[in-house]
Structure 1
Amino acid sequence: MARVRADGHRQILIGDKNYYGAGFEETVDQVGIDMLRPARKGEKPRAGSRFFKPLRQIIESINDTLKGQLDLEHHGGRTPAGVTARIIQRLLAMTAAIWHNDETGQTVRRSLGAYDH
């Protein structure tokens, strides 16, 4: 199996507690991935567990922004390339709006309300 990174360093992947099993963990280890996940019921605590709660809050906030404010569930792309283009387009628009709102001293920097037509 090929390594994840050409420079020989291992990649860290964070998943939920349902990514488990000796076969699964052996496979990800062989391809150069260190899998971090919460311990399942009855398991001893696993490495990195102190990061999961704050990280989950960040991920949920990002998902809410992507789904709600950028409407990414209704992207209209018909091919993988089309979906990718529309997602990148909306992320760039959000980034430009945040930058513009910051530069012009707006009190709410992440809002696209003024640009929604």
Structure 2
Amino acid sequence: MAAECELLRERPRQTLIGDKNYFGRGFERELSEHGVQLLRPARKGERERPVAALLKPLRQVIESINETFKGQLDLERHRGRAPGSVIARVMQRILALAAAIWHNDATGQTVLRSVIAYDH
């Protein structure tokens, strides 16, 4: 939490969504002390958490977006060597996908999250 103190100060009452491996009383207490709410699925042996019904569909959306990034945008083969070039190449592809989604929506396409028509 110390590494992100400025972020927490500038944007109070944040919600962190994590998988079931983000756990521990001390960890959750520290988050709470900083005004961060943790949403995660229950671990084996824990009682069901209040947000369980929201997390499953959200996870499906995240997995779908990740698959789009890896499949259509070739994010696993970015060819960047330094952190700055990796970030630039990944951001270019995300911007291209966002532009394609906007264009597909604006032109009434049935599939919004696809860049196949622009792949040439």
1:8 Cα deviation from its structure 2 partner: 6.5
Moved more, 30-39 or 74-83: 30-39
What letter matches 1:83 in structure 2?
V
* 8 Å contact from structure 2 (residues 14, 36) kept in 1: yes
Report the CA distance shift for 1:11/1:101 in structure 2 as closer, same or farther (over 3 A).
closer
1:77 aligns with 2:75: no
Q: How far does the alpha carbon of each residue in 1:51-88 deviate from its partner, in whole angstroms, 9 at most, with x for none?
A: 11110110011000000000101111112211111111
Report the CA distance shift for 1:8/1:73 in structure 2 as closer, same or farther (over 3 A).
closer
More helix by share: 2
C-alpha RMSD of the superposition: 2.2
CA distance in structure 2 between the partners assigned to 1:10 and 1:106 by the alignment: 38
What letter matches 2:117 in structure 1?
A
What letter matches 1:111 in structure 2?
S
2:99 counterpart residue number: 96
What letter matches 1:77 in structure 2?
G
Once the two structures are superposed, the pairs formed by residues 1-117 of structure 1 within 5 Å of their partners are: 1=2, 2=5, 4-7=7-10, 9-117=12-120
1:97 Cα deviation from its structure 2 partner: 2.4
SS at the partner of 2:19? coil
Report the CA distance shift for 1:31/1:3 in structure 2 as closer, same or farther (over 3 A).
farther
TM-score normalised to the size of structure 1? 0.81
Could you tell me which runs of 5 or more consecutive residues in structure 1 were left unpaired when the two chains were aligned. none
Equivalenced residues, count: 117
Could you tell me which runs of 5 or more consecutive residues in structure 2 were left unpaired when the two chains were aligned. none
